Amino acid sequence: MKVIIDSAIPFIKGVLEPFAEVVYSAGDSFTPELVADADALIIRTRTRCDRALLAGAKVKFIATATIGFDHIDCSYCAENGIKVATAAGCNARGVLQWVAAVLVELSKREKFTPSQRTLGIVGVGNVGKLVKHYAERWGFKVVCCDPPRQQRETLDFITLEELIPQVDILTLHTPLDSTTRGMINAESITSLRHGATIINASRGEVAQTEALLREDLTVAVDVWENEPNIDSRLLEKAIVTTPHIAGYSVQGKANATALAVRAVAKYLELPLQDWYPEGMQPTTPQDIDWQTLVDTIDTYCDLNSESAPLKNGGDFEALRNNYRLRKEYF
């Protein structure tokens, strides 16, 4: 059996080699010729898995070491008997702590306490529900929008149209699909308060760049339209400018790799279905009060220093691929 693996995925080298032929390749260098005789792929967002890559290939299993799957044509895979596994929830606490750092930065700039701000969360899945839990503990008034969950469950959520006029800070945590692409646009945020903030750590295409450029808005951006060819105007405007690394924590990456390895192991019937990177431990969740967060977050996620390389003209992909992973601490 043969497995092709994105060479930027950490902790994985040597794990599958005792059981399969393993080939490593840069994520943006997967070709039809490379994957033609592979049984499985382990990828990240930079590998587009669609007909152009997979037609005629032997591939029947794809594991993505990411929470998102908009880089995979799931309809094509389903039609052709290719199973897909994601790493849903793997980096939720890493993203939470990036958002927490943004909230602390905003509070310092605007000199507010959490009780003076309403936070709107769009997308209350693995990340959004953590943001909700901690933001409420810190004292923010929190309102939520998640239509798919609202349909499945009885929840105190509201529509996007109802949410936008109520909030001072809007944070986005949705997957990218046909219902969320461009959902934040000039028209949809017409009623957003003057001087409000939009935080995007979901997918760049969820929020249209032109909408984020509205003169009175403050924006904090980790994900961008047209990555890695990002808009220079948005780069100049945003107070936080990181290269799609909000979830790049040591524990998040370990979780993602473990989920991908376990998924492939289950499919190929390998004795690795409980595997976790040696020497690593998942984060032990704990509550943290607002003042402790303010006093400690820069030690773990200093957004001023993390924003500077991209602001100063650094290469998006190089910064992302060579990012020094943060440590989760709550």
Active site residues: 203, 227, 244
Domain membership flag for residue 317: yes
Domain membership flag for residue 282: no
Instruction: Please check whether residues 203 and 111 belong to one and the same domain.
Output: yes
Instruction: Please check whether residues 236 and 120 belong to one and the same domain.
Output: yes
Instruction: Please check whether residues 43 and 107 belong to one and the same domain.
Output: no
The per-residue pLDDT for 97 is: 98
The per-residue pLDDT for 4 is: 98
Measured between alpha carbons, how far is 121 from 100 in angstroms, rounded to an integer? 13
Instruction: Please check whether residues 306 and 256 belong to one and the same domain.
Output: no
Domain membership flag for residue 275: no
Among residues 202, 163, 201, the alpha carbon closest in space to that of 180 is found at 202
Reported confidence tier of residue 175, pLDDT bands at 50, 70, 90: very high
Residue 250 · residue 325 · CB < 8 Å: yes
What angle, rounded to 10 degrees, do the helices at 92-110 and 290-300 form?
Answer: 110
What is the distance, to the nearest Å, from the Cα of residue 106 to the centroid of all Cα atoms in its chain? 21
Instruction: Please check whether residues 181 and 300 belong to one and the same domain.
Output: yes
Instruction: Please check whether residues 308 and 197 belong to one and the same domain.
Output: yes
Task: Summarize pLDDT for 180-234 with one digit per residue, the tens.
Answer: 999 999 999 999 999 999 999 999 999 999 999 999 999 999 999 999 999 999 9
Instruction: Please check whether residues 105 and 182 belong to one and the same domain.
Output: yes
Reported confidence tier of residue 9, pLDDT bands at 50, 70, 90: very high
Side by side, which strands form the sheet with 169-172? Answer: 141-145, 118-122, 169-172, 197-200, 218-221, 240-241
Average pLDDT, the chain: 97
Instruction: Please check whether residues 188 and 312 belong to one and the same domain.
Output: yes
Domain membership flag for residue 284: no
Task: Summarize pLDDT for 19-62 with one digit per residue, the tens.
Answer: 999 999 999 999 999 999 999 999 999 999 999 999 999 999 99
Domain membership flag for residue 316: yes
Reported confidence tier of residue 154, pLDDT bands at 50, 70, 90: confident
Instruction: Please check whether residues 102 and 194 belong to one and the same domain.
Output: yes
CATH number for 234 = 3.40.50.720
**Residue 27 is part of which domain span?**
2-86+250-268
The per-residue pLDDT for 151 is: 87
Side by side, which strands form the sheet with 61-64? Answer: 21-25, 2-6, 40-43, 61-64, 83-85
Proportion of the chain above pLDDT 90, given as a percent:
98
Domain membership flag for residue 286: no
Proportion of the chain above pLDDT 70, given as a percent:
100
Write down the pTM of the prediction. Answer: 0.90
Domain membership flag for residue 330: no
Instruction: Please check whether residues 75 and 172 belong to one and the same domain.
Output: no
Task: Summarize pLDDT for 263-311 with one digit per residue, the tens.
Answer: 999 999 999 999 999 999 999 999 999 999 999 999 999 999 999 999 9
Domain membership flag for residue 326: no
Q: What total number of domains does the chain contain?
A: 2
Spell out where the chain has E strands: 2-6, 21-25, 40-43, 61-64, 83-85, 118-122, 141-145, 169-172, 197-200, 218-221, 240-241
Task: Summarize pLDDT for 89-131 with one digit per residue, the tens.
Answer: 999 999 999 999 999 999 999 999 999 999 999 999 999 999 9
Residue 72 · residue 84 · CB < 8 Å: yes
The per-residue pLDDT for 3 is: 98
Residue 191 · residue 211 · CB < 8 Å: no
Instruction: Please check whether residues 20 and 77 belong to one and the same domain.
Output: yes
Instruction: Please check whether residues 112 and 170 belong to one and the same domain.
Output: yes
